Structure 1
Amino acid sequence: MSFSTRLTFENKPERRSENPHNPYKDSPKYPEPYVISSELKQAVNLAIYLRRPLLLEGDAGCGKTRLASAVAYELGLPLYRWDVRSTTKAQDGLYEYNAILRLHDVQTQKVVQQPPVDAAEIDEDKDEERVNRNPANSKHYRKFGALGKAFKLKSCPAVVLIDEIDKADLDFPNDLLTVLDEPWEFKIKETGETIRTNHKPIVIITSNKEKGNLPAPFLRRCLYHYVDFPNDKKRLQEIVEKHYQIREETPPPSTLVENAVERFLAVWNEGGLFKKPGTSEFLDWLKALHTFESKPYSAVKLEKDDLLPYRELLFKLQQDWKKYAKAS
């Protein structure tokens, strides 16, 4: 995929199994069957070079979310995912502090009092989950979120996915700006710590515009790219080829793939669908055509039949289901 960073990174041959290039322990273990356009690859490399968040928009199923995993795998970097909800606050991605658990430990005296532990002795990944919590040490009760974990890394940057940012309150994006900018630090008031990053993370943000446009100050801080659905026969066939290559599975017959791609794109482009199927639905549908029955679905039958087989894999709303529930 050939992403460039300030790290030592060279183009690598196609990998078909477990990640072999000495990745960080939180890096994805397996490659992502991702076919990237030259324009999107350039946007990723610009975001890496400038260390600015990359904001991705596009139709559901066009590959926005999976890009972060592909980048993290290719570079051998850790991946931390932050799924945004309507109640999400900016601090949630930095840390959570469990004051109730600390009070519980004090009152029940389940943990034997020990001398305060130096911060350097605390495993950065355990936090409040450590076996021997000591209520005398407030650091045992904080748990880092996706951005917090990325800021704490000493040896390399991390890839952080902030998924569906538009689900949160409108103030949420601007609150992130106080962290994703100089001096790239945040404070934990409960412990008195200041967490300052040694390696600025690679931040990939997705949006479906559920609540309209994002705030202008936030947009100015980001790089922007609109991810088009692979509405092209050749690109969709490339995705199929890479998907089966990486998973080391026997691909469907070429004629079945060709006819499935043509039939799928005809449905996708016909118009009138309330929710268009994405690439993941297409790959599931193709797998069913290939292996659900004892023999693969006939490519000729798929091309000629009015009825669409296994439509339950493609349509997720009643209106779309009914539209293809009977022959025209």
Structure 2
Amino acid sequence: MKFSGTDAYVATDDLTVAVNAAVTLQRPLLVKGEPGTGKTELARQVAQSLRMPLIEWHVKSTTRAAQGLYEYDAVSRLRDSQLGDPRVEDVANYIRKGKLWQAFEAEERVVLLIDEIDKADIEFPNDLLQELDRMEFFVYETGQTVVARQRPVVIITSNNEKELPDAFLRRCFFHYIRFPDADTLRRIVEVHFPGIKDRLLTTALTQFYELRETPGLKKKPSTSEVLDWLKLLLAEDLGAEDLQRAPNQMLPRLHGALLKNEQDVALFERLAFMARRGG
């Protein structure tokens, strides 16, 4: 089976090549890119396209690699032993399976998403090297070795907030999702808003790219944010003529969907002030 995008997800040629290469090589696919460019959604669409179940592991700053394997609940076992519960005789009753264990023991091949791996401690990726490489791990409490029934399709996302170890990178197939060009973004919008008026879309995307490419912008708006903005424009029943701005007006209508911090809003206010003075 080959991934070629879905009706709900516009995948560029280089992205489909990366997904299929990772599947063929049986290597984790490491996907980097700006927040909001569809990295997490990619895993969901790959699972749908390849007709595989999806297991999602969303990493936080406090997440430890061992949690993806299993967790031993010693506190509950101690409490049950004090209450005379017979379950304490079998330590397996106090082993909670993690996302990797679930993926390894699945009856059919699954897609395993390890989302935003760069949020965790720098040792997190290194702690998963052996398990992702050998597709097995050892449970010390029970003396059991868990071996994957079939190798899952592993998709790992990163927002590039910190560098990942070289040993980890060597084991992955890498792809960087670039921000889509105007034609690709138009296709993405038409998937989410079929039938959107061409004049409105052209005007909106022109303003969006002008805003995004403004020098000095702290946070450039992403794909998800332009979709939110267009949803608001359609909800307000605004047309292309409603988006027209005066020469000294820099901010677009409903700009709160695009600009997410006061520094960027202040930047456009300064640019508007300078335009008025120049006028």
TM-score by length of 2: 0.88
Q: Which residue of 1 aligns with 2:2?
A: 3
Q: Show structure 2 runs of 5+ residues with no match.
A: none
- Structure number with higher helix proportion: 2
Distance 1:167 1:51 in 2: 25
Distance 1:271 1:162 in 2: 34
Q: Are positions 1:135 and 2:88 aligned together?
A: yes
Q: Are positions 1:219 and 2:169 aligned together?
A: yes
Contact 1:3 1:71 in 2 (8 A): no
Q: Which residue of 2 aligns with 1:235?
A: 184
Q: Show structure 1 runs of 5+ residues with no match.
A: 5-10, 16-32, 114-133, 246-250
The CA deviation string for residues 75-103 of structure 1, in whole angstroms up to 9 with x for no partner, is: 12121222222332221111112121222
Q: Which residue of 1 aligns with 2:221?
A: 277
Q: Are positions 1:44 and 2:43 aligned together?
A: no
Structure 1 segments of 4 or more deviating over 3 A? 324-328
Q: Which residue of 2 aligns with 1:160?
A: 112
Please list, as runs of the form range in 1=range in 2, the aligned pairs for 1:1-328 lying within 5 A after superposition.
3=2, 33-109=8-84, 113=86, 134-154=87-107, 156-182=108-134, 184-211=135-162, 213-230=163-180, 232-244=181-193, 251-291=195-235, 293=236, 296-305=237-246, 306=249, 307-325=251-269, 327=272, 328=275
Kindly report the root-mean-square deviation, in angstroms, between the aligned alpha carbons of the 2 structures.
2.1
Distance 1:285 1:96 in 2: 42
Q: Give the residue type in structure 1 aligned to 2:11.
A: I
Q: Give the residue type in structure 1 aligned to 2:141.
A: E
Q: 1:138 to 1:257 in 2, by over 3 A?
A: same
Q: 1:148 to 1:244 in 2, by over 3 A?
A: farther
Distance 2:165 2:120 in 1: 12
Q: Secondary structure at the match of 1:56?
A: strand
Q: Secondary structure at the match of 1:181?
A: helix
| Count of matched residue pairs | 269
Distance 2:78 2:110 in 1: 33
Q: CA deviation at 1:275?
A: 0.9
Q: Secondary structure at the match of 1:180?
A: helix
State, as a whole percentage, how many aligned pairs show the same letter. Answer: 45
TM-score by length of 1: 0.76
Contact 1:284 1:313 in 2 (8 A): yes
Distance 1:267 1:202 in 2: 38
